[in-house]
Amino acid sequence: MSTIAVTEAKPVEGPRPDASAGDGVEKLIDVRGLAKTFRIGFFRKKVEAVRGVSFDVRRGEIFGFLGPNGAGKTTTIKMLTGLISPTGGEAFLFGQRVPSPEARQRIGFLPENPYVYPFLTPREFVELCGRLSGVRGSALRSRTMEVLTKVGIAYAADRQVRRLSKGMLQRTGLAAALVADPEMLILDEPMSGLDPVGRKEVRDLIYAERDAGRTIFFSTHILSDVETMCDRVTILRQGEVVVSGSIRALLRGDVVRTDITLAGASPELRASLVDLGFTLVERAEVVVVEVVGEARVSEALRLALDGGARVLELLPRRETLEDLFLQRAL
């Protein structure tokens, strides 16, 4: 097609994106030193929303793009989807420099606050999105019902959008992202506005879409929701990457602390535990001894039992993404 000729005719600026990650894995997103500075107000004050961010997303994976509110996630996603342009660095979608309308056709995008025309119904809105992506006729009708069912709002397919809850709007947006059967989903905070059941349903949907062969890139500010879901993550803070890598390499499952819950710990016992360097947390009727290092667990236990306390619970704590983030963000 002519698009190929156009791409080849373009002058090559800097190194061409290598669409493989070295071991034959294809990079569907490749972001290199991406930056965005906004200028706001009369004095054109600088807001450095994204400050030299690099990461890549490989075919077939679930990739978590994490960080607290204001970290720069949505700004990065807007640059990837061509809604705003970078002020520095570069980004590639399917090997094409953004903004690339052609690459954009291959993704399903759920914006952070999906704008859905209030007087349309979910069915009409999803059909409209499908038609804009080139789906037509009976395929459009059946595909629309299929995705509305998949996201769990088929029962409200013909209600006006202005009468839907935030969670139902979020589901309508997800259905719209799926309707054209994209190779990759880019979801900006797909779990926001949903209750715990809704969040679980979105998690299950993400797994199912990955199993169906789609690549998933999603952002969230809730770290604890995602560490079990993602193959790889990048965590941003104030526009910069603070943690990046595969979950398996980042969280090796090491015990970082053991919490021993004691009842009936006398003031003398508490004092000697503190003297030996253990941290005590007082909770109502009990005291929790936080033991760092597996080597000291027996020592704390012996002291507690000899001191006449009862051991109610012994809980090994493994490192979480949140721990990692807090360590590196300080």
Given the rule CB under 6 A, which residues bind ligand ADP?
A: 38, 40, 47, 49, 67, 69-75
Which of these ranges, 74-82, 225-233, 256-264, 286-294, lies near Mg ion under the rule CB under 5 A? 74-82
- Binding residues for Mg ion restricted to 110-129, rule: CB under 5 A: 112
Helix axes 137-150, 166-178, angle to 10 degrees: 140
Q: Choose among Mg ion, ligand ADP, none what residue 72 binds, the Cβ cut-off being 5 to 8 Å by kind.
A: ligand ADP
Residue partners of 289: CB distance under 8 A and separation at least 6: 259, 260, 261, 262, 273, 278, 279, 280, 300, 304
CA dist., res. 27 & res. 206, Å (int): 19
**E strand or H helix at 301, and its extent?**
helix 297-306
Find the shortest distance in angstroms from Cβ 40 to ligand ADP: 5
Q: Choose among Mg ion, ligand ADP, none what residue 259 binds, the Cβ cut-off being 5 to 8 Å by kind.
A: none
Find the shortest distance in angstroms from Cβ 241 to ligand ADP: 12
Beta-carbon neighbour count of residue 149 at 10 Å?
13
Q: Which is nearer to Mg ion, 66 or 265 (CB)?
A: 66
Order of strands, sheet of 27-40, starting from the edge strand that comes earlier in the sequence: 45-58, 27-40, 88-93, 96-97
Q: Which is nearer to ligand ADP, 74 or 100 (CB)?
A: 74
Which of these ranges, 24-32, 39-47, 109-117, 263-271, lies near Mg ion under the rule CB under 5 A? 109-117
Q: Which is nearer to ligand ADP, 72 or 86 (CB)?
A: 72
Which of these ranges, 72-80, 119-127, 256-264, 301-309, lies near Mg ion under the rule CB under 5 A? 72-80
- Residue 272: which region, alpha, beta or left (left: phi > 0; alpha: psi -120 to 50)? alpha
Which of these ranges, 67-75, 83-91, 137-145, 260-268, lies near Mg ion under the rule CB under 5 A? 67-75
Q: Please, how many CA atoms are within 13 Å of residue 305, restricted to the half-sphere of its CB?
A: 9
Q: Indicate the residue whose CB is closest to Mg ion.
A: 74
Find the shortest distance in angstroms from Cβ 128 to Mg ion: 25
Q: Which is nearer to ligand ADP, 17 or 67 (CB)?
A: 67
In the list 74, 76, 81, 144, the residue contacting Mg ion (rule: CB under 5 A) is 74
Q: Choose among ligand ADP, Mg ion, none what residue 167 binds, the Cβ cut-off being 5 to 8 Å by kind.
A: none
* CA atoms 74, 78, 81, 86: torsion sign: negative
Find the shortest distance in angstroms from Cβ 224 to Mg ion: 18
Q: Which of 190, 196, 160 is nearest to 173 (CA)?
A: 190
Instruction: Measure CA 160 to chain center.
Output: 30
CB of 29 within 8 A of CB of 93? yes
Q: Which is nearer to Mg ion, 73 or 143 (CB)?
A: 73
Beta-carbon neighbour count of residue 137 at 10 Å?
8
Amino acid of residue 29:
I
Find the shortest distance in angstroms from Cβ 199 to Mg ion: 17
Q: Choose among ligand ADP, Mg ion, none what residue 307 binds, the Cβ cut-off being 5 to 8 Å by kind.
A: none
> Under the rule (CB under 5 A), what is the footprint of Mg ion?
73-74, 112
